[in-house]
A = this chain, B = another copy of it.
Amino acid sequence: MKKIDLIIIGGSAAGMVTASTVRKFHKDKTILIIRDQPEVPVPCGIPYIFGTLKSSSEDIVPDKNMTDKNIDILIDRVIKVDLKEKIVETKTGKKFGYEKLVFATGSNPTIPSFIKGTELKNVYTITKYIYEIDALKDALKGLNKVVVIGGGFIGIEVSDEINKLKKNVTLISSSKNVLWKSFDEKFSSKVEESLINRGINLIKGKRATEIAGDGKVSHVVFNDGDKMEADAVILALGTRAKSELAKDAGLSLDETGAIMVDGYMRTSVKDVYAVGDCAHKTDFFTGKTSGVMLASIAAAEARIASLNMYGIVSSRKSLGTVSAFSTKVGNLVVASAGLTEMQSVEEGYDVIVGEASATDRHPGKFDDVSMQEVKLIFERRSGYIIGGQISGGVSVGEMINIIALAIQQRMTISEMVHLQIATHPLVTSAPTAYPIVMAALDALSKY
């Protein structure tokens, strides 16, 4: 039986970053990724396969990124892990010994028990398997009325993309506002307005309770008894850690079913790690178990595991999830990091909020200028920044990372007010109006 230094189960973001980071620091280790699909999509790019990209082939991560680094890939499914003997066994009967083992098995879309009829034909979820994505894209060709259930990021992005195929798209968000976990109402409203302007039928504050039809979907039933015709239903109601293999092997799971890990991504068994969607996460602020799953967090966790796998190179533990998100609907970019005002109040924080807006180029007479709106949330007494939201044009995608970094570095309102920033007429707002600084100043003035 062949013994490999490092076996990684799963070949998406978490698995790839683990492999390439270990390789960067250890030229001599043998590394094997075992994954159960021939091609891996760029995970965050999946919604864009439906409309913007020509086909799923444009959203594939080249294996060359790994094989060029002398990282082996095996297309197979791991069916058993013997943690005691340190052996991994695959569906095709292969067995490998390992020195270190990393679970990067990802997540599956949630099939909600509170909606009946999810087993009907033409009910779909958004998975990370190319053949399933292709099958959905293919099926949509013959269908018109598409109902997407779930007002989170995936629901919104998939609705907007399928709308580009000139389908009749309805998005159902049971909450009062879309993206309510990441945005306060003002920012969610902008997204909703953009979706509606782009021709998407938005239904808010009502729950779908049943998907009905004779063998295949014909309509969706709501909690208030209303019915809506549908040719296809796409469930976008979150994801759950894929941890059956780890559980069967004897690893501890957390209350959400994710593989339990410590701050260095170590599981309950020596030499075994878990990273990415399948791994236990905590919230940066509360320390509570977090359900936020993002490729960016997966990559950060993979780096933590990799840098501390063969001796501790960087003893900085995972700080927990700061929930840094961005998305784009039409020309509108919205982004969020940390807690929303609503969440922070619910969690019991005494907060001070600051807001500001400015054009994203200056003077405002340039063509293609967008307005940026910034909202920052601070703990009143400590002054720590605990959240921020921005809307505007493309550069908001990087601007939110200024806030994400400020949160991680425990910056205070006073430090934010006095930030020195680079500004330039063609690429940022004016130095006199830079909205992150001005929002901090606005908050400071409210003490």
Contact = CB atoms under 8 A, between A and B. Distances in A.
Contacts of A399: 398, 401
A366 B299 CA distance: 22
A412 B404 CA distance: 16
A280 to B, nearest CB: 16
A411 interface: yes
A324 interface: yes
A420 B363 contact: no
Contacts of A319: 418, 420
Interface residues of A, number: 86
Nearest to A44: B425
Contacts of A232: none
Contact of A421 (B318, B333, B404, B427): B404
A444 interface: yes
A340 to B, nearest CB: 15
Interface string A373-415: 0000000000000000000001111111110111011010011
Nearest to A60: B363
Interface string A47-76: 010001100001111000000000000000
B441 A24 contact: yes
Given A404-B420, A405-B402, A422-B335, A363 B326 contact: no
A396 to B, nearest CB: 7
A316 interface: yes
A365 interface: yes
Given A294-B431, A431-B299, A441-B24, A400 B422 contact: yes
Contacts of A198: none
Contacts of A59: 363, 365
A16 B395 CA distance: 26
Interface of A: 13, 16-17, 20-21, 24-25, 42, 44-45, 48, 52-53, 58-61, 294-300, 303-304, 307, 313-316, 318-319, 321-322, 324-328, 333, 335-337, 362-363, 365-366, 394-402, 404-406, 408-409, 411, 414-415, 417-428, 430-432, 434, 437, 441-442, 444-445
| Closest 6 pairs between A and B when the two form their complex, measured CB to CB | A397-B427, A324-B422, A296-B431, A58-B365, A398-B398, A314-B414
Given A24-B441, A314-B444, A318-B418, 12 more contacts: A44-B362, A53-B363, A295-B430, A295-B432, A296-B421, A300-B418, A307-B417, A313-B444, A396-B398, A399-B401, A401-B402, A406-B409
12 contacts: A21-B441, A42-B362, A44-B424, A48-B426, A294-B431, A300-B418, A300-B419, A326-B428, A395-B395, A397-B424, A397-B428, A401-B422
